[in-house]
Amino acid sequence: MLVRKGDDRCWEDIIEALANESRRRIIQLLTKKPCYVSEISYALKMAPKVVLEHLDRLEKAGLIRSFEEGRRRYYYIDRSLNISISISPHRFDVDVVEERVRDLEKEFMRIKSLLESSAEKSIVDAFERLRKMERMFVMIQKSISEGIDELIERFISRLDRLDVSNVDRIVLYALIKGVESPERISQMFGLPYDDVLTSLSNLERRGFVERIGDGSLIRFRIRKGGGVYE
């Protein structure tokens, strides 16, 4: 679902709501769990009246929702949104994407049907839909990249705790990054080729890595269950 100017939840309202630092802090708090006004007031050191004003703004922008339980009203985040802002010499676009990956297949089918039509209006509509979907995939790709970076950081922290040499750590880091051959590891990280081979041999003997593939090309990868990822 794309939310654009003119829709019920106008993107200007969302951008304006997020422009305030206090509202961003409230959203950050709500990512942990639903909260009521006094709880937010205490956690963020804000007056309850101010908190209510911010919550009202966020709710009107469609960023949060609320429900009553007993005598308290809880505020929470019920969906995922990504905001894409494109600025270039030729265009300025803002898209707010509500992530529902299960709807992508239906959207592809609609676009396919439009492309099969010879009507100019259908072709223009298909073009607009494809542009929107392209932006959605860019944001999904960004999320994936951020997830990979986070995992790599976790692996690096794990490497610091392993009982291995500094060369071994560099070699393991290279393998985590997807550099599989001794030659490439040597070139990319400035290590003597023989040192890389010795390190890989030691790491293989200790069960941290394993050889992959056939033929004359030597390649290695982190062995699952070998202790690097745990």
- Collapsing DSSP to helix, strand or coil, 2 comes out as strand
Number of domains comprising the chain = 3
Residue 100 has pLDDT above 70, yes or no: no
The CA distance from 19 to 24, in Å, is 8
CB atoms within 10 A of CB 104: 14
Percent of the chain with pLDDT over 90: 25
Residue 38 has pLDDT above 90, yes or no: yes
CA atoms within a 13 Å half-sphere pointing along the CA-CB vector of 58: 26
Of 144, 178, 203, the position where a domain reaches its end is: 144
Does residue 95 sit within a domain?
no
User: What average pLDDT does this structure show over 160-177?
Assistant: 86
Please give the residue range of the domain that contains residue 38: 2-76
- CATH no. for residue 24? 1.10.10.10
Same domain, 72 and 8: yes
Is pTM, for the whole model, over 0.75?
Answer: no
Same domain, 204 and 178: yes
The CA distance from 145 to 61, in Å, is 28
Q: Pick from 122, 103, 105: which is nearest to 114 by CA? A: 122
- Of the ranges 20-24, 90-94, 168-172, which one carries the lowest mean pLDDT score? 90-94
Does residue 151 sit within a domain?
no
Does residue 137 sit within a domain?
yes
Does residue 88 sit within a domain?
no
Residue 57 pLDDT grade (very low, low, confident, very high; cuts 50, 70, 90): very high
User: Do you know the residue count of the chain?
Assistant: 230
Residue 214 has pLDDT above 50, yes or no: yes
Residue 6 has pLDDT above 50, yes or no: no
